[in-house]
Chains A and B, each alone.
Chain A
């Protein structure tokens, strides 16, 4: 028997590289992080002394950590809400026929292709305390009379972070929503038109419900991407002013690497895992339920 005909061997051979990748680059660091979070390891020496839940109880009593936890939730939820609204709107625009649609689609996808760090640096200029394009534009158009210190005030800085995170995920979400829209049967949409539904009713009662599984997947991606992102916050605010805009990844980096307290850094980093798992399971269930229960797009 030829090797190519041995499905068991062939399967193992083909799965091998992927499995090795997952185990070596995802699994090992993940397990290591969990182990470290229960130890008092520091960056200088890798002697593992078990300290049980000490690291966790320390961070849970730390107001900076709690603030970072809150920020992570605010940034993640805020940016995803923004993404859904923008992506749905953009998908409606891109569905219409207009000149230069291809070029516009290309431009739309650019943020997705730009490295996070580069983009974040560009955004620091947009939010700059002196040169901020936003401020000057608002000023010239007469909408702003004072001055906004985007990255200097905790509330505004968090808002700026939300904007950048949304900007980053938005192209991907738009493409997914567009794909979902094109998979909605045309005659169902037309039936709703004949049945007397206007634009909003069609959007909220027909298209969005049918898009729900697709949107759930897009949001799942967005949540994981945003909640685990280090670069944007690190470059925009570095967690400042006065540690008010930290998210968990930046705080973990600050404590674990810069502050050399590996154990605590690991605890901060690992803290979010159970929540992300719950989010993932919920989202996948939404996607599945709409498909199976109501005969969504997939079940037609």
Chain B
């Protein structure tokens, strides 16, 4: 394998499909660093796949520029010359070829000698633990095995950039966890620039070196999982990440111009915090309590903003004695440092 890898630079990228009335990708600027795993995260239809396909060269941008390893590719560099490998959501294996035929396909297209091809196929198959299936056809494999074949087919090309479109979406929950682990370990091992598309925030937080949160064709925020979670730039990012999402309530006395945001896990009984911690009191009127084993969710409203539902997420060992009946008033608070302020009109973060 070559030791070089390369970043991807995207500038003011737009895509409007023929007959569309809005841009599926709407002015994206993104700088994907050499060797990092960047996750594109966003709700369905926000343009993740379109962006990925433009990087791959399967879709022509309406405007903007794409650079791979410093070379501009968006104008006239065909997919095969971009140094990329792609794993499709459906895996897109060749149904008429065996596993080894599938893995060998890109190598044959590159006119490598037979012996080299056989050796690379074996190497990749062993890397992903499918060496025993080389003679099977895709339809004789389970979803997880197919996914590995797709990954094998991608890695034998030794690309500069991996493009993965929801590669785990078709797996069941358990398999998805192990596959995620494997993928992460593999990416660490080969240190190849990777763009990973998903709409699953758990996957994004667990896998990504950085996450680009997208909404309606725009990138809202790029940052480490910690940054986008703890320090969202707007209400979209704040509510898209987190399960349950960040609470948003009007700030009392703010004239409805500012929203207060705080994560459910930061909303705790006041007496739980130390004396020195500056607190923002949020008196909670209980509507119902959900018991989820390790956690309890307390659903309620606050007096100064009775329309909004507020959720508190209590670890099992905290506030065991809180009254659970409806209408009960709880003396809860959020530490000042965990509060976010947003402009109620634009949704943008207000820093102070």
Contacts and interface: CB of A to CB of B under 8 A. Distances in A.
Interface of A: 185, 187-188, 190-198, 201, 205-206, 209-210, 212, 290, 293-297, 299-300
Nearest to A201: B109
Contacts of A300: 95, 139
Contacts of B139: 295, 299-300
Interface stretch (B9-17, B82-90, B246-254, B289-297): B82-90
B308 interface: no
Interface string B118-144: 000000000000000000011110000
Interface string B139-155: 11000000000000100
Given A185-B90, A197-B109, A296 B96 contact: yes
B94 interface: yes
Interface residues of B, number: 29
A185 B58 contact: no
Contacts of B85: 194
Interface in B267-325: none
A187 B157 contact: no
15 contacts: A187-B92, A188-B92, A191-B92, A191-B153, A192-B94, A192-B105, A192-B109, A194-B56, A194-B86, A196-B106, A210-B95, A293-B137, A295-B95, A295-B140, A299-B95
Nearest to A197: B109
Contacts of A294: 95-97, 137
User: Max chain A CB contacts within 10 Å: which of B57, B90, B95?
Assistant: B95
Given A191-B153, A201-B108, A290-B96, 6 more contacts: A185-B92, A190-B58, A191-B93, A196-B157, A212-B96, A294-B96
A116 to B, nearest CB: 36
A132 B138 CA distance: 54
A163 to B, nearest CB: 33
Contacts of A194: 56-58, 79-80, 84-86
Given A190-B88, A201-B109, A294-B137, A195 B157 contact: yes
B90 A295 contact: no
A154 to B, nearest CB: 42
A300 B94 CA distance: 10
Contacts, number: 79
Which 7 A/B pairs are nearest by Cβ-Cβ distance? A295-B139, A196-B80, A196-B109, A195-B106, A191-B92, A187-B92, A294-B96
Nearest to A290: B96
Contact of B92 (A190, A209, A293, A296): A190
A185 B56 CA distance: 18
A212 B95 CA distance: 12
Nearest to B89: A187
Contacts of A296: 95-96
B113 to A, nearest CB: 16
User: Max chain A CB contacts within 10 Å: which of B109, B110, B153?
Assistant: B109
Nearest to B150: A191
B58 A188 contact: no
B268 to A, nearest CB: 48
A89 B96 CA distance: 22
A293 B139 CA distance: 9
A188 B150 CA distance: 11
Nearest to A189: B92
B105 A197 contact: yes
User: Max chain A CB contacts within 10 Å: which of B80, B89, B140?
Assistant: B80
Contact of A295 (B78, B80, B84, B138): B138
A188 B89 CA distance: 11
A193 B80 contact: yes
B137 to A, nearest CB: 5
A241 B282 CA distance: 104
Nearest to A191: B92
A209 B86 CA distance: 22
Contacts of B89: 187
Nearest to B111: A196
A205 B105 contact: yes
Contacts of B86: 191, 194
Contacts of B95: 188, 210, 294-297, 299-300
Contacts of A195: 80, 105-106, 109, 153, 157
A188 B84 CA distance: 16
Given A294-B95, A295-B95, A299-B139, A193 B58 contact: yes
Interface string B65-101: 0000000000000111000111011101111110000
A196 B90 contact: no
Contacts of A191: 86, 88, 92-94, 153
B257 to A, nearest CB: 48
A206 B96 CA distance: 8
A193 B92 contact: no
A192 B86 CA distance: 10
Nearest to B53: A190
Nearest to A187: B92
User: Max chain A CB contacts within 10 Å: which of B79, B85, B96?
Assistant: B96
A122 B82 CA distance: 53
Contacts of B94: 188, 191-192, 206
Contacts of A299: 95, 139
